[in-house]
Amino acid sequence: MRLAPALVAVSVFTSMGCRWRRRRAPPRPPPVSARIEVLDRARLADHAYGRVGDLRLVAGEVALTVAARPDAPGHRPMMGAIVDVDRAADDQPDPLLWWRPVWIDAASRAHPMVAALVDLAPCPNRSVGVVRTATVDGVSLRSQLCALGPGRFRVRTTARDLPAGATLADDINPGSASVRVEGRDEGWEGTTPTPWIELTEHGTTLRFETADPAVARRNLVHIAAETFPSAVTWMASGASSDRTLTVRAADPAPPPPAAGATLRLGFDDPSGADVPVHVMFARAGGPDPQPALDARAHGFASGRSVYLLDGHGDVSLPPGEYRVTASRGTAWTLHRSTVTLGAGAPTELRATLRPVLPPGWIAADLHLHASPSPDSRVTLAQRVGSLVCNGIDFAVATDHNRITDLSPAVRAAGLDHALVTAIGDEVTSAGSTLWGHFNAFPLPPVGEAVAPEDAVPPYYGVDPAALFAGARAAGASILQVNHPRMPPSIGYFDLTRFDAATGRASEAFSEGFDAVEAFNGIWLETPAKVREGLVDLVGLARRGMRVTATGNSDSHRLVYEEAGYPRTWVRVAQGARATLGERVFAGIRRGETSVSSGPFVTLENLTDGRDGVLVVRITVTAPAWVPVEHVELWRDDVVAQRWAVTAPATDGVRFETRAVLRLERDAVVTAWADAETPLPDVLPYPGARAIGFTSPRYIDRDGDGRVTVAPRP
């Protein structure tokens, strides 16, 4: 059938129009809504690296911060790395320290990208993005960050001139965040294929995904009974990688099981005043209980512990029989009892704790971590509470390469009367050569105009002498060598090949420190490592050095690595509370310290020893619950005299004697007390030992003004 001319024209036009539409490219989607901001103030939240001048790529309510400025000398080079993730406009903690491209050579060595250029660049989806370029050890890297939508991002990285056997990878440092990969639980380590990685902490989850084959590698750090986090290397299969990142609110934690029974706790001192306590719960033949503290109480719960800042609170537990241990550190008596809880009215438990040790000494913990450290989840409020409940009078905040001030948390908790704090920094060496960890204190407070990374003393790529000089320049009057013989690669004495038998060390060894952490809390179950610390103090005397012994918890957690175990007792002169810090530092510089995870040991010189006869008095004081079984008097690094303590345990002086040492030459003298019986349930470690020892006494036998100890035969 033939169509009318008009209809033919319309039909042809329509047909041609259809053919024309089919030949056109499909409509382009609208550009993704995103924007670039330049930081006008430093990011101050825990783990934050963002500094003024860095770039923020904002998509919806989520922003990624890219380090866009060169780093100061002596600081980790992070230019080009993604260093902060925010789900809101305010400055909040997040699960990421950094995310940056690296290439991995055939020997599995990582070559991190430090960008030579960070600039804006359009993305394929017409959104704005950030491009980072660098040549790293002969390999040219280009990495572009783009927004895909609200809370979603893409990073595409390419490499040129990649050597044979090498591959691209991502260096993802989650700090203390939980890390999940496909088919593995949260505690995974080693190497595993996975198309995704999830980091969760602070109410935020970051999910990294790829459609390409990828392998994740993580090597956790194991020291004694403890495990510490590490970065994740996510390896691609060649010279390009394509990753997406989705940022969302973390899934809510499951509600705790119904308790059904209430224990009403109340603790005071002999005057009737409320006393802060640390309460531990145990249940025979069953899993560790998980007590829940009433929200109205002044305190918090963690694991099988409850910390009561005013000694009072209602605790919820399932009905049953529990062993309850309430303590306030090694200077106080404790309370132990067994309670049977049932449904219905609360069961009451009230007790009085008494101080035991003599006045004139301050309990100090000079090595502590909280959430500003990348390997700790403890909040500042929790850290302050744990210190007070464990009877610490003076504390120094020493987060890894971070300046932390605990005093606002002390004031917020109303604990100014119980705890004085100082600002410090654990200068944690980094770079191609590691030298260990060192506490620097006191340091001045840092204003909000200064980024946390810029405020710390130099730590990256500097030798020990430069590291010590930088800490002194920052204001530190005391430098403490932390855990000097601790694997892996964090013990200064091991890394500088210091030989205590001769006093010799490598050329890199610097003597610019004042104190040595002879007892670190990680060695509570390993007395031989603590004795090693005393031997090292004698080895330093073989170099002509006089240093002070300290002992500190190095606490990164709450229930494990308990604050105040061990502690450094510092003899202080009388004075106003406002000057306590100055008096503590003066006592440390004088060497008037005693280290303890239980017994408190003092050593008094009754003669000066210059006639060849040194007379000393040794006194050991402890509450009855602290086991004391042996006392030793050391001359140099040899036990010269040893006594067994057989008297029944009582609160107060447990041992006292007058001892005589014959000296032919200069000597270092130390008193020590310990027990093979472990501490009771004030700590979760089944084998935690009660150990106490004094700082060395340097005896100038020949009167020449120096103490020179002969090498060990």
The average pLDDT across 14-29 equals 49
Greatest Cα-to-Cα distance within the chain, rounded to the nearest angstrom: 136
pLDDT score, position 560:
80
Q: Which amino acid, residue 115?
A: A
User: Mean per-residue pLDDT for 502-508?
Assistant: 97
* Sign of the dihedral through C-alpha 646, 651, 657, 661: positive
With bands split at pLDDT 50, 70 and 90, how would you rate the model's confidence at 449? confident
pLDDT digits (tens, 9 = 90+) for 64-123: 999 999 999 999 999 999 999 998 777 788 999 999 999 999 999 999 999 999 999 999
pLDDT at 260: 87
Q: Cα(87)–Cα(60) distance, rounded to whole angstroms?
A: 9
Which residues, in sequence order, are CB contacts of 599 under 8 Å at separation 6+? 330, 620, 621, 622, 626, 628, 654, 673, 674, 675, 690, 691, 692
Q: Are the C-beta atoms of 274 and 238 separated by less than 8 Å?
A: no
Residues of the chain with CATH 3.20.20.140: 361-699
How many C-alpha atoms does 613 have within 13 Å on its Cβ side? 4
Give the HSE-up count for residue 399: Cα atoms under 13 Å, Cβ half-sphere: 26
**What mean pLDDT do residues 439-449 have?**
92
In one-letter notation, the amino acid at residue 519 is F
Residue 453 pLDDT class (50, 70, 90 cuts): confident
Q: Give the containing element (helix H, strand E) for 17.
A: helix 5-23
Mean pLDDT over 340-356 rounds to: 95
Kindly report the number of other CB atoms within 10 A of residue 91's CB atom. 17
pLDDT tens, 610-638?
A: 999 999 999 999 999 999 999 999 999 99
Give start-end residues of each CATH 2.70.98 domain in the chain: 35-249
How high is the pLDDT of residue 21?
Answer: 44
- The answer to whether the beta carbons of residues 201 and 378 sit under 8 Å apart is no
**What mean pLDDT do residues 35-58 have?**
89
Q: How many residues appear in the chain?
A: 713
Give Cα 493 to chain centroid, integer Å: 21
Question: How does residue 9 score in pLDDT terms, banded at 50, 70 and 90?
Answer: very low
Superfamily name with CATH number, domain 261-352: Carboxypeptidase-like, regulatory domain (2.60.40.1120)
- pLDDT (0 to 100) of residue 33: 87
Mean pLDDT of the region 403-418: 96
Q: Are 248 and 207 in contact (CB under 8 A)?
A: yes
Nearest-5° Cα angle at 557, 285 to 403? 175
How far is residue 78's CA from residue 112's CA, in Å, rounded to a whole number?
9
Report domain 361-699's class: alpha beta
Mean pLDDT, residues 667-686 taken together: 96
The rounded distance, in Å, linking the Cα atoms of 588 and 695 is 10
Count of CA atoms in the C-beta half-sphere (13 A) of 544: 4
- What does the pLDDT average to over 140-165? 97
Over residues 202-215, the pLDDT tens digits come to 999 999 999 999 99
Exposure string of 69-78, with b = 16+ CB inside 10 Å and e = fewer, is bebeebbbbb
What are the pLDDT digits (tens) for 243-256? 999 999 999 888 77
CATH for the 35-249 domain, from 2.70.98, 1.10.10, 1.10.4160, 2.115.10: 2.70.98
- Based on its alpha-carbon atoms, the radius of gyration of the chain, rounded to whole angstroms, reads 30
Q: Are the C-beta atoms of 590 and 335 separated by less than 8 Å?
A: no
**Ranges for all domains in the chain classified under CATH 2.60.40.1120:** 261-352
CA distance 389 to 306: 10
Torsion of Cα atoms, 325 then 330 then 333 then 339, to 10°: 0
pLDDT for 68: 96
Q: Where are the alpha helices (DSSP H) in 556-599?
A: 580-590
Choice between 206 and 489, residue whose per-residue pLDDT is larger: 206
Instruction: Find the mean pLDDT for residues 667-684.
Output: 96
First to last CA, the chain: 121
* Residue 253, pLDDT score: 82
User: What value does the mean pLDDT take over residues 14-30?
Assistant: 50
- What is the structure's pLDDT at 655? 98
Query: Would you say residue 11 has pLDDT above 80?
Result: no
| Statement: residue 287 has pLDDT above 60 | yes
Res 46 pLDDT > 90: no
In what side-by-side order are the strands of the sheet with 600-605?
600-605, 613-622, 652-662
* Residues in contact with 472: Cβ distance below 8 Å, sequence separation at least 6, in sequence order: 479, 512
Q: CA-to-CA distance for 43 and 52, rounded, in angstroms?
A: 8
pLDDT score for 298: 97
Angle at 180 between CA 68 and CA 79, to 5 degrees: 10
Encode pLDDT of 162-192 as tens digits: 999 999 999 999 999 999 999 999 999 999 9
pTM of the model: 0.93
Q: Is 42 helix (H, G, I), strand (E, B) or coil?
A: coil
